[in-house]
Each structure stands twice: as C-alpha cells, then as structure tokens.
Amino acid sequence: MLTYQSVLLDLDGTLVDSAPGIVSTIAFTLKEMGREVPTMAELLRWVGPPLPQSFEVRGQMSPSEAREAVTIYRGRYLDVGVYDAKLFDGVADLLLGLRDAGAHLAIATSKPTTPATIMLEHFTLSDFFDVISCAADDETRGSKAEVVEDALAGLRQKGLPTDNAIMVGDRIHDVEGAGHHGIDTIMVRWGYGGPAEWEKAHHVIDTPRQLHQALGIPGGRS
C-alpha cells in the first residue's frame, strides 16, 4: 500500500544526473565574465539552488552581474548543456512503480520551465506527471517554496489529494521549501547534497530500492 498519495519530485540530482551539463555551463559563463573558475567539487555545490542566488552568493556577484551571468548561462545551456545529462539508475522503474500503484506525481523543480521541459521530453518522463511545476523562465518564481506551492495548487486544481504528500529531493532547499508547506522530505544520497543537509530530512535513503520501500510501492520494483 502506498505510504503517500501524492509525491512531489525534484529533478536535478534526484531523477536526472544533470551536473555535467550544469557545471560545464557555469564554468563557461564564469570564463566569459572574466571570473576565476572554482574546482569541480565547488561547482557541484552550485547545483540545486536557484541560479541567480548561486551567482550572487557563490560567485560573489552584484544583482546586475548575476543577471548578466544568467543570460549567458541560459543561452549556452539550452544549446549544449541541457543534453549533457542522464537518468539516475532505477528512476524509470521508480516512476513506473508509482504510476502503477496509483500515486499522483508532480515535478517541483527550481529549474526554469524551458530547460526543465526540454529535459523531461528528452528522457520521455513528462507523461508520468499530473503536474509539472518549475521556476519561471524570467526568474519571477524560483524559490523551492514557490514551486512546491505551485505544484500543490496544480494537484488541487485537478481534484487530487495533497493532505498526504511527500517531497523527494537531494538538497536542503527541497527540505526547506516543502517544510514551508508542512510537507516532509525524503532525501536521496545519490544527488548533490551532503551530510549536513541530510540530517534535516524526514528520511534519507541510499538506493532506489529503499525509495520504493519508503514510498510503499507494491512489489518493490528496483
């Protein structure tokens, strides 16, 4: 029996290993702006939060510089970076298991709508989801709390339940954004978070098989 009726899923670092395309595009952007490019380990910390925030906080840019960086990044990423990604092992079976069990699924990602849509279509994932909630392309909606709110509203508009929902993600922003709406988060260790973030989650899992069990998928597809 399903543990949760509705499951909100993050995209980058949860369903898709998109880090190669993201970090290479961030490095390209920093070079274009005459900035020093951090190590690969540091660049991986940029993956997950809204991009303008990463350029301002981690890139130590002013708001206007961050906007310029985002413009450079978007152009390069849509041409090249968005396709430099792969599904994490076990994701396809996870989504099949949830669908077969009757779960209501929503994407809740801080990735903007255009690249998120391209990625979901590229991996033929779109049809699994009742609702797809992304950051706005113009950055007017981008925080995790905002996209979670939008995902919940979309489910309700379709007459689907949200009182027994869970967020599945890999970063502290998933925990905080879902928690803003009273929703717990299961964090996956195969993404881009770390121990300090994992300890904030309701539950932490290591493998897709464990996630099957945590979500109560009958038959334990893996």
Spell out the per-residue pLDDT of the chain, length 222, in tens: 899 999 999 999 999 999 999 999 999 999 999 999 999 989 988 887 888 889 999 999 999 999 999 999 999 999 999 999 999 999 999 999 999 999 999 999 999 999 999 999 999 999 999 999 999 988 777 799 999 999 999 999 999 999 999 999 999 999 999 999 999 999 999 999 999 999 999 999 999 889 999 999 976 544
From CA 188, how far away is CA 38, in angstroms rounded?
A: 25
- Per the rule left: phi > 0, alpha: psi between -120 and 50, beta: everything else, 75 is alpha
- What pLDDT score was predicted for residue 53? 87
Are the C-beta atoms of 155 and 7 separated by less than 8 Å?
no
From CA 116, how far away is CA 10, in angstroms rounded?
A: 11
From CA 116, how far away is CA 126, in angstroms rounded?
A: 10
Nearest one of 143, 206, 135, 195 to 173, comparing CA atoms:
143
| Cα dihedral 112→107→83→205 (10° resolution) | 120
- What pLDDT score was predicted for residue 222? 43
From CA 143, how far away is CA 191, in angstroms rounded?
A: 19
pTM: predicted TM-score of the whole model, two decimal places? 0.91
Rounded alpha-carbon distances, angstroms, from residue 141 to 11, 93, 134, 159: 16, 31, 8, 24
Beta bridge partners of 188: 205
Are the C-beta atoms of 5 and 103 separated by less than 8 Å?
yes
- What pLDDT score was predicted for residue 219? 60
Are the C-beta atoms of 169 and 198 separated by less than 8 Å?
no
- What pLDDT score was predicted for residue 47? 86
From CA 199, how far away is CA 72, in angstroms rounded?
A: 35
Exactly one of 10, 12, 170, 174 is catalytic; name it.
Answer: 10
- The question of whether 137 is a catalytic residue gets the answer no
Tokens read off for 182: 């009273």
- What pLDDT score was predicted for residue 101? 94
